[in-house]
A and B are shown apart, each in its own frame.
Chain A
Amino acid sequence: MTQIFAYIPFKNGAAEDVALEYPTAAKKIDEGASLTAVVTGSGADLDTVANEMTSIYSEVIKIDHADLAYPNAEVVRKALVNVIPADAIFLTAHDTFGMDLAPGLSVKMESAYAADMVDFDGLDGTILKAVRQELGGAVSTHMAIDISSGVVMTVRPGSFGPVEGSSAGGSVVDKSGDAGDVSVKRKFLEIVEAEAGDVDITKSDVLVSIGRGIEDEDNIEIAQELADAMKAVVSCSRPIVDAKWLEKSRQVGTSGQTVKPKVYMAMGISGSFQHLGGVKGNPFIVAVNKNPKAPIFQVADVGIVEDILDFIPELTEAVNDL
């Protein structure tokens, strides 16, 4: 039987949303496969998450070690190599931790490797059919992966949707003892928090971008509130920067920053090509503009003809209620 192991990232005792997506992904890989969650860390937080995962996964492996208190990818890899079966399918999220952990893990486990998967099409013998994207999302590709000696894969969060229903009634299995020697040549020092105002809009997956429709500097507040609710960052088009309402570093455009978010909320932006020239990677674009003829509606995925000054606060409220 195919064995699938999924790594659960967590922060402050709460698992990341991708934990709910693995079961959906696993079904698409092989409906009959076994799915085991793997969670590493140390202490109370680890236990909380492991227990939480029992409602979604039938088996949850936990590895507790002092050196795993902060998820240092090198340490985690060493532990996992001793715990995960060599020919298993191993899943983790394609996030900054996944990019750190997964490639090296596949080498040590002598498995195949596939990154940033957005869809699976089942197994054909030991060949897994899958879909991913290239060139910043400009094109998609069908992949064939030989998993006969196992495979390590990262999946793109948000691609698979959360599992419907739960209460798997699973149990936690402590494999801390199997971890073995986890000494590594990379030592975690500390986290340096981003300064408020030091925001790099090119690194955010979701942008709430404002244009002239915001009309007044004082109205920028409502955009920030929406951004906070969506865990996004506020960016803007050139006129806002020219008016000195926001710093240059917030500007999206050919003479501003190039951004490659997953979602781009174009609020009160007309959609000039100089502005859109800064939006790459084919994001999901939501355009809100009171002018139904605004060019942005040609390129947006979703269009809404409304005054952003009315619309944004209502959207913020709805998002916060989720």
Chain B
Amino acid sequence: MTSIIGPASFKFFGIFPAAILSFILPVVGIGLFAYIMARRFAPLVRANPDNRFDHIGKRIRNLIIVWLGQVRQPRYMLAGVLHIFIFSGFLILSIRSTSLVIIGFSDGFVLPGFGGALGSIYNFFKDYAATFVLIACIIAAIRRGIYKPERYAVPEKYGKDHTAEAVFVLGIISTLMISESLFEASELAYEFALTGHDHFLAPLSLVWIFRAMLPSVPQNVLQGLHIFSFFVHDLTFFFFLCFLPLGKHFHVITSVFNVFFMRVQKGNIKPVMHGVSDDKLDDLESFGVKKLEDFTWKHMLDFYSCADCGRCSDQCPANAVGRPLSPRFITIKARDLMFKNYPLAGEIYKSNLLVEDIYTEDEIWSCTTCGACEEECPLGIEYIDKIVDLRRGMVDEGMVPQSLQKPLKALEKRGNPYGKMEKKRADWAKDKEFKANYQIKDLAREKADTLYFVDSITSYDDIIQDIARRTSIILQKAGVDFGILGKLEKDSGNEVLRFGEEMLYQDLKEQNIEAILETGVKQIVTADPHAYNALKNDYGDLPPVKHISQVVAQKISSGELDLKPCQDPDKVYVYHDPCYLGRHNGIYEDPRQALDAIDGLTRVELEKSRDRSFCCGGGGLMLFYEPEEETRMGVLRVNMAAEIGATVIVTACPFCLVNIQDAIKVAGKEGEIEALDFTELIEQHLY
């Protein structure tokens, strides 16, 4: 009896060499794969430029942490762990898979270096890898097919359910694992029957189990099983390879690139067109994304890379309140359009306007730019820049909702969305009681170290003006020499930019930068996170910008600011992270540090806090937009706070304050819970 015949030497029916098949399969498989990839590349070549080769160090870091380290996966624990197993299994098994292909026409092939001890160690781990990949696939299949978690559900308007695709692929992967282990187990069982020599196998691994099942199987069956499982593996492998670019498993190939190219800077918005400077914008024929090809190549790569996991939509506040926006489907619909317009065979279709084709206007206007989707995506898919580009396209075509036209016009004429007169921008400082004790420097006439940038809502809204007064009091108590721009200050334009009105934003930005640089201040402080974000991340060329919570925290640490013990020890305080302070700018601890510096203040944490914070409903122009929704984001947030027993919601953003105050009334919780601004809490506790 000879040893088992591998596929390289085997002859079907004694005549036809199997090696021919094992040679043809890869050639055809790789050839077909290359063709498919070339077709998939086609739209990217037509796409707009993107600047993704800067900050190489940060990109490599992202690659290691997000891609290799899978750091975002455990945010959804069960699915995350399952995926980590499957992902790491794939990485480990990639070596084995490559070897197997070549084994098909070269008996006993081992990759260079994997001959001796290294090979044995590798085999040990790869056997367990295959095992836990199979177990993970089975659990995943049961979870997807039977338990059907909510976030995978496909609402009717978006088409058919995706469960079949998911379970099918899990089946393919399981087939690969089983066939690989069976291929090895059949050989080992044959060897044992022949020589009595028993290889050491990783105990309880898949191959170990198969091997244990096979001792009494006749040799010719083992031989057949060996060849059969090889070709099942080979065929499935190349089928899977060509199947990957056809659906959501394209991410298996694109993820490493997508994560490498993902955004390295937070809070800012991409330029209208990479490579076109602001002063050349007037020359552009068209602004924004109107058709599919207007997206950048990275955004198109994003569409390809979506794993359809639904985590983005699960975290999306607009989705939660029933607005027509679901980030997952922004991506899936665009991906499907790419597949449709750039088919694998045949003509490339001409693109229509996206907003008449796959998206609706309300869908695109519904986004509050909170960033929860991008924070969550394990593949580094971006959304905010795409929404802004789509809005730029709509604005260029005049497709702006009527309710937004008024505030935009007011911003153009008066520098604030309320249409109030410029000269009244500093009227908050003229409040009789306040003025008697505090005189605010006007930087047009006096000098100061620091600029307090007030921004529009704090300047003009009767109730929010209190924030300006309190911030001034706090700054003074903390020994900060500051002044304001007064009527020279224009709206920071954070929302104007994000709502796609690029030229109006440029206009506001230029006026603000000019006014600010004129004053010669060395730093800027604001109590408005939206202004903070625009000045710090979108403007450029400015002195350092700080939020009032950072100033307070720093002054507490240095001992310059002392706070009284809690004036309301019976209340239960919870801090709500504003999107533009927290997620976009990473300021989570400073406000908490300040609150905790108040002796006897009882503070609790919301489950959805820090980078999982839930948007209050949005600020700036979002206050003017009339969305179609089932409930309000603010109401959901207030209920979250009530559920954990909080009686005071503290927030460090004027828009959060407005939205949450309103929501408390709508939710009917007046008297049970109140909204408090950070500045009010601190000012209450100043000596």
Contact = CB atoms under 8 A, between A and B. Distances in A.
A255 B626 contact: yes
B623 interface: yes
- Secondary structure of the B contact surface, majority rule: loop
Contacts of A212: 665
B462 A255 contact: no
Contacts of A242: 632, 666
A273 B665 contact: no
A273 B424 CA distance: 15
B666 A273 contact: no
A71 interface: no
Nearest to A255: B624
Interface in A200-257: 212, 239, 242-243, 248, 254-256
A273 B665 CA distance: 17
A295 B418 CA distance: 19
B403 interface: yes
Contacts of B623: 255
A104 interface: no
B626 A277 contact: no
B461 interface: yes
A243 B462 CA distance: 25
B465 to A, nearest CB: 11
Contacts of A254: 406, 418, 624
Nearest to A212: B665
A273 B632 CA distance: 21
Interface size range on B against A: 10 to 19
B665 A239 contact: yes
A302 B528 CA distance: 38
A88 B76 CA distance: 85
Contact of A239 (B461, B462, B625, B666): B666
A277 B403 contact: no
A256 B626 CA distance: 8
Contacts of A243: 666
A47 B578 CA distance: 72
Nearest to A277: B418
Contacts of B406: 254
Contacts of A277: 418
A239 B418 CA distance: 20
A273 B658 CA distance: 13
A270 to B, nearest CB: 10
B461 A273 contact: yes
A239 B406 CA distance: 21
A259 to B, nearest CB: 14
Contacts of B665: 212, 239
A242 B461 CA distance: 21
Interface in B594-647: 623-626, 632
Contacts of B632: 242
Nearest to B625: A255
Contacts of B625: 255
Interface in B652-666: 665-666
A255 B403 contact: yes
Interface string B426-464: 000000000000000000000000000000000001100
Contacts of B626: 248, 255-256
Contacts of B403: 255
A273 B419 CA distance: 12
B661 to A, nearest CB: 11
Interface string B104-141: 00000000000000000000000000000000000000
Contacts of B462: 273, 295
Contacts of A239: 665-666
B405 to A, nearest CB: 12
Nearest to A242: B666
Nearest to B632: A242
Interface in A284-311: 295
Interface in B397-425: 403, 406, 418
Interface string A252-294: 0011100000000000000001000100000000000000000
Contacts of A256: 626
A113 to B, nearest CB: 32
Contacts of B666: 239, 242-243
B21 to A, nearest CB: 67
Which 7 A-B pairs give the minimum distances between C-beta atoms?
A255-B624, A242-B666, A273-B462, A255-B403, A255-B626, A239-B666, A248-B626
20 contacts: A212-B665, A239-B665, A239-B666, A242-B632, A242-B666, A243-B666, A248-B626, A254-B406, A254-B418, A254-B624, A255-B403, A255-B623, A255-B624, A255-B625, A255-B626, A256-B626, A273-B461, A273-B462, A277-B418, A295-B462
Interface of A: 212, 239, 242-243, 248, 254-256, 273, 277, 295
